[in-house]
Structure 1
């Protein structure tokens, strides 16, 4: 499931980046900047800071603790072992949460794939969705975690190249340079008349999500040596910053290039720019970067879903004696089921890549972020506190999302993360951990000093 914990620093770094950013980096963010300007860049600032903190404070501790805690291979598995939950309730709650929010996350990738095939091949959206989903699910079946991580590495390289070449090519054109002198200054301002405190906090709060993303955390768990995480962090952060700058530049380039004829769908700006700036061969290769971004994320998500279904449901509750071949079959059936539900969600014509990613990101960040942090840093954190944290975080995101106006315009990850963290501490004070759980944490802390 974790590739035998043999991943190298470079592969880990780009696998984290590629599986993290997905089609959102080439479709959602450039589209948002195309519409609203650099005011949307605050998402990037929040993400960079959150990712850096995640690498700095979570990666090493999680890598060591998951191995110390009975060699935990999944996040629910780690939670169960961390809190010595013999009843399995914590694993069940966390596994269900993963499957629910990954369905929406996978749906965002399917929407991105459908947009790609619709625009490139002129297909009907529903047919494009069907073809894209089939390709993505089939691709996931080809290899396990190790193979997926290596393909993520190469896909990450392609994404980076595409995000550099496209805006450079557009800005190099004389017409674009002339248009740049006439651009609305508000488009180039990080703060303008549309900026609000709630909006600014919401954009920056995207960084909170990193602490709870299972497909990112699993990469930390899989690296060969905790000592490699320093180099891996440097590579990952460099890739991330350059890629985000490229995405922002793509959005601005699109607003200049298509000023006279605005695009119907802002999230197609990268596709149209690639067509406009290059011949069909190079343009096709660059557009393939979108498919790479989508596939690198969905395969990671579906792989996590597969491991949750097999390890945390089937093996735990139904057939503890199941063979490896049987587990593989069950995992693949589960992946197909998740993909089908995600496809139904993606059928909604109002769905957007950014909107679906935002919801899933908030769900994971609020439900698992506080649990991961408290599990790694506080010996007084208890099993009941962890269960309460997950439930409060997930439910707050779901309920808050349904509200509109006033304070409810605040990104749902903020109240979700805050309430979950608060409840986790309070419940753990009321219902403290067992002595064994405390002793295990002390042992982990000692092992941390030697690595």
Structure 2
């Protein structure tokens, strides 16, 4: 398909704006703390929207609407699980992690926090957690690059190879130049674009299909079971979909937003903004897929692309129902979702390589300017590896993305959650939690036990391992004192 000028121009303007924000952030990036965490200067609005945008990738505008379009409301259990998980993460982890990282060596990364919180002189906790981050996030980055390439390929008729570089170049550019501030500021713009697209599109689809009553009658006529939340589900299936919410406690790119907030006082307001944004976006996503059933059953002559690939339901509705200029803005929302997640993952990988390997083991006396440039070089390195993995979109390694979320959720989630609420947790308990969580996910996925999503047993077994192993030892006096000081700080300032 040849690119219509309005859509192409809109994409170019959008990408140019993101890169410009990167150069603006460059002027505020003076040291590694600025590059990795924005100097802990994010206000509540940026903290909230960047946390939301970094979480929701292209899946929000392609995968979930497509699943709802195919199967009806029974696919929406995952959205419910994500909302509950995200809320609990904001409630129990966000503020406490912000304070604990500051009290534990002003930690800039999760491995840095684990190492300081548990006084790990061996470096084992830092190395294991940094390796887990690098392996899973490089694969995650590759999947984001594939999603961006598919968008450019289908929208502008490019070859996959050209689309691969076109989709990745802008994200790499602003992440490389501006670091965390660029990623957070662009995430805020991208989150705004995503919510605009997901509120406007279902309203226009509803109007195009004749209003609420007509739309619901058409969906029921197509298949009455579309309204059945339990259609084709089992108890284990519902629990597995809801279990996605557990992943939030261990996602490094989301936790980094909490660590970067300007103060604990910002967290409560950020929670309210972020949860409102998330509920509206997920509601809009479900509505796009659901109302799309009525629209394409009434207009079978334009349903071909959606019948061929149900994940195109949002793309096709935007192109059919809107002026090309507005359609360009709406399609940019998909690019925004892909770019916001990819940029965060690139930066987390870069910070793991720079702070947890280069500075910790190779150049302890490195200057701040040197560390910032090493961080930028690591963004390029990880991006090139991810592009190499994405060069063949059928590459089996991309299948690992399906349980990378579970891997992070089970390996890091219980360690992060328990470390901020239980002062008696020990270094050996943390190590046991990371290893048991990661191994359980890999083994459970391999044997597909009971058909249960692997994050659930992984999270439970990791939590038990942390508790039991910690009871066998004793935290040092310094660990307990820092924990209590941070907890007191949290309650005084929340």
TM-score range, shorter chain: over 0.9
Shift of 1:420: 1.1
Corresponding residue SS for 2:61: coil
- Asked if 1:226 corresponds to 2:268, the answer is no
Give the equivalent residue in structure 2 for 1:97.
Answer: 132
| Stretch of structure 1 that moved more, 283-292 or 317-326 | 317-326
339, 348, 353: which is aligned to 2:383?
339
256, 259, 263: which is aligned to 2:294?
256
Give the equivalent residue in structure 1 for 2:15.
Answer: none
Structure 2: runs of 5+ lacking an equivalent: 1-35
Shift of 1:357: 5.1
Instruction: State how far apart, in whole Å, the 1-side matches of 2:357 and 2:171 are.
Output: 24
- Asked if 1:17 corresponds to 2:52, the answer is yes
Give the equivalent residue in structure 2 for 1:426.
Answer: 468
286, 293, 312: which is aligned to 1:268?
312
Q: 1:426 to 1:174 in 2, by over 3 A?
A: closer
Q: 1:265 to 1:432 in 2, by over 3 A?
A: farther
1:40-59 alignment, distance < 5 Å: 40-59=75-94
Shift of 1:435: 3.0
| Stretch of structure 1 that moved more, 152-161 or 299-308 | 299-308
Shift of 1:348: 4.9
Instruction: State how far apart, in whole Å, the 2-side matches of 1:431 and 1:113 are.
Output: 48
After superposition, give the CA deviation of every residue in 1:48-69 in whole Å (9 maximum; x if it has no partner): 1111111111111111111111
- Asked if 1:287 corresponds to 2:331, the answer is yes
Give the equivalent residue in structure 1 for 2:184.
Answer: 149
Structure 1: runs of 5+ lacking an equivalent: none
Q: Is the 8 A contact 2:219 2:293 kept in 1?
A: no
After superposition, give the CA deviation of every residue in 1:100-129 in whole Å (9 maximum; x if it has no partner): 111222222112102201110122334322
Instruction: State how far apart, in whole Å, the 2-side matches of 1:355 and 1:251 are.
Output: 24
- Asked if 1:366 corresponds to 2:410, the answer is yes
Instruction: State how far apart, in whole Å, the 1-side matches of 2:384 and 2:400 are.
Output: 16
After superposition, give the CA deviation of every residue in 1:154-208 in whole Å (9 maximum; x if it has no partner): 110000000111122122114783733523122222111x101121011000110
Q: Is the 8 A contact 2:50 2:191 kept in 1?
A: yes
Corresponding residue SS for 1:128: helix
Instruction: State how far apart, in whole Å, the 1-side matches of 2:254 and 2:379 are.
Output: 19
- Asked if 1:134 corresponds to 2:134, the answer is no
Shift of 1:350: 4.7
424, 429, 444: which is aligned to 2:486?
444
| Stretch of structure 1 that moved more, 137-146 or 257-266 | 257-266
Corresponding residue SS for 1:258: helix
Shift of 1:431: 3.2
Runs of 4+ with deviation above 6 angstroms: none
How high is the TM-score relative to the length of structure 1?
A: 0.94
Instruction: State how far apart, in whole Å, the 2-side matches of 1:40 and 1:302 are.
Output: 30
Give the equivalent residue in structure 1 for 2:21.
Answer: none
1:13-412 alignment, distance < 5 Å: 13-174=48-209, 177=215, 179-192=218-231, 194-259=232-297, 260=300, 261=304, 262-350=306-394, 358-404=402-448, 407=450, 409-412=451-454
Q: 1:305 to 1:349 in 2, by over 3 A?
A: closer
Q: 1:350 to 1:169 in 2, by over 3 A?
A: farther
Q: Is the 8 A contact 1:159 1:293 kept in 2?
A: yes
Q: Is the 8 A contact 1:115 1:268 kept in 2?
A: no
Q: 1:174 to 1:211 in 2, by over 3 A?
A: closer
Instruction: State how far apart, in whole Å, the 2-side matches of 1:421 and 1:267 are.
Output: 36
Shift of 1:74: 1.1
How many corresponding residue pairs?
448
Corresponding residue SS for 2:56: helix
Q: Is the 8 A contact 2:202 2:288 kept in 1?
A: yes
Corresponding residue SS for 1:321: coil
How high is the TM-score relative to the length of structure 2?
A: 0.86
Instruction: State how far apart, in whole Å, the 1-side matches of 2:183 and 2:365 are.
Output: 27
Corresponding residue SS for 2:307: coil
Q: Is the 8 A contact 2:46 2:185 kept in 1?
A: yes
Q: Is the 8 A contact 2:81 2:243 kept in 1?
A: yes
CA-atom RMSD in angstroms: 2.1
After superposition, give the CA deviation of every residue in 1:389-419 in whole Å (9 maximum; x if it has no partner): 1112122222322234x51x21111111111
Shift of 1:330: 2.4
Q: 1:401 to 1:127 in 2, by over 3 A?
A: farther
| Stretch of structure 1 that moved more, 335-344 or 93-102 | 335-344
